[in-house]
């Protein structure tokens, strides 16, 4: 697993670069994300909610919560509490606006924090989610160990992440779209084109499929499983903390 950085001309670590990147694009993040995924990201989040519903979680931790799209959807599960953690203050500010507008601030509370050193209690949550965020961690294994500690025994870790389709012609179309179309469009509509050049590079550099399940098992999760979506463009990974 090699590190890919958003900015090649800045001599700071990946964690700091990712924080800067998301601070830069926070205001346009939702619109750009929906545009670049052709709206399919909404379907992927619905599938996460479907998987979570089988665990009936009352206390949920959403790591890399960003602008809180996934956190807000999880209120459909009628939990008592959702805690959203993100390393980008600007993303949290955008999320907070949306939460207050929808009157969900009594359920969702937000914390500025590092996913590799979570500012939350251990053995507290029934479920933890990471939506499109694990590949941005500087040390994914450390982040997953923090998730493991935060979960109650029997708690579920559910990760939604982009992956790499392997079958023709989806693979070829995906490569062309992510390497050519996305950066071009980003240059037109975004003030930080490096952020959207980083996206396909980070997906290509990160593990997926069975390798991701192996990492979950290394951390200690059991009953791990994988659900591929949209011909392998995205995947949901699930692991359980043993009782």
pLDDT at 38: 82
Q: Is 9 a member of any domain?
A: no
pLDDT digits (tens, 9 = 90+) for 154-195: 999 999 999 988 888 878 887 887 777 777 766 666 667 787
Distance of alpha carbon 174 from alpha carbon 164, whole angstroms = 8
Q: What percent of the chain is predicted at pLDDT more than 90? A: 72
Average pLDDT value for residue range 37-49: 94
Number of domains in the chain: 1
Q: Is 7 a member of any domain?
A: no
- The CATH number linked to 213 is 3.40.50.150
Statement: residue 204 has pLDDT above 80: yes
pLDDT at 173: 80
Beta bridge partners of 117: 114
pLDDT at 112: 98
In terms of DSSP H, where are the helices of the chain? 14-25, 29-36, 40-53, 69-73, 89-101, 140-150, 170-176, 182-189, 193-205, 210-219
Distances (CA, A) of 116 to 43, 93, 133, 144, 150: 28, 21, 12, 8, 12
Any idea which of 38-47, 168-177, 191-200 has the lowest mean pLDDT? 191-200
Average pLDDT value for residue range 24-38: 85
pLDDT at 188: 65
Average pLDDT value for residue range 14-30: 92
3-state helix, strand, coil in the chain (%, to 5): 50, 20, 30
Average pLDDT value for residue range 50-59: 98
Question: 62-82 burial by CB neighbour count: b if 16+ within 10 A, else e?
Answer: bbbbbbbbbbbbbbebebebb
Any idea which of 26-35, 132-141, 213-222 has the lowest mean pLDDT? 26-35
Q: Is 207 a member of any domain?
A: yes
Q: What is the mean pLDDT of the chain?
A: 92
Q: Is 3 a member of any domain?
A: no
Average pLDDT value for residue range 81-109: 98
Statement: residue 28 has pLDDT above 90: no
Indicate if the alpha-carbon torsion angle 239, 44, 37, 19 is positive or negative. Answer: negative
Single pTM value for the model: 0.94
Number of H helices, E strands in the chain: 10, 7
Q: Is 47 a member of any domain?
A: yes
Q: Is 2 a member of any domain?
A: no
- Please state whether beta strands 81-86 and 59-63 pair in parallel, antiparallel, or not at all (unpaired): parallel
Question: Domain containing 61: what range?
Answer: 14-240
Average pLDDT value for residue range 140-148: 98
Contact 107, 113 (CB under 8 A): no
pLDDT at 128: 98
Q: Is 60 a member of any domain?
A: yes
Q: Is 173 a member of any domain?
A: yes
Distance of alpha carbon 218 from alpha carbon 211, whole angstroms = 10
């Amino acid at each position: 697993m090699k590190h890919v950085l958003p900015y090649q001309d800045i001599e700071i670590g990946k964690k700091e670069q990712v924080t800067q990147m998301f601070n830069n694009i926070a205001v346009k993040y939702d619109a750009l994300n929906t545009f670049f995924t052709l709206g399919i990201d909404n379907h992927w989040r619905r599938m996460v909610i479907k998987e979570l519903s089988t665990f009936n979680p009352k206390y949920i931790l959403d790591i890399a919560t960003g602008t809180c799209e996934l956190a807000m959807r999880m209120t459909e599960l009628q939990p008592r509490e959702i805690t959203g953690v993100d390393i980008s203050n600007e993303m949290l500010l955008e999320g907070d606006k949306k939460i207050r507008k929808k009157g969900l601030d009594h359920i969702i509370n937000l914390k500025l924090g590092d996913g590799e050193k979570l500012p939350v209690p251990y053995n507290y949550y029934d479920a933890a989610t990471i939506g499109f965020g694990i590949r941005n961690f500087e040390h994914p294994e450390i982040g997953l160990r923090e998730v493991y500690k935060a979960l109650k025994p029997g708690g579920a870790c559910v990760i939604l992440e982009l992956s790499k389709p392997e079958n023709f012609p989806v693979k070829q179309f995906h490569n062309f779209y992510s390497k050519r179309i996305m950066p071009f469009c980003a240059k037109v509509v975004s003030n930080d084109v490096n952020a959207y050049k980083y996206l396909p590079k980070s997906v290509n550099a990160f593990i997926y499929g069975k390798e991701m399940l192996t990492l979950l098992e290394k951390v200690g999760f059991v009953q791990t499983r994988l659900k591929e979506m949209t011909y392998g463009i995205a995947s949901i990974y699930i692991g359980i903390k043993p009782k």
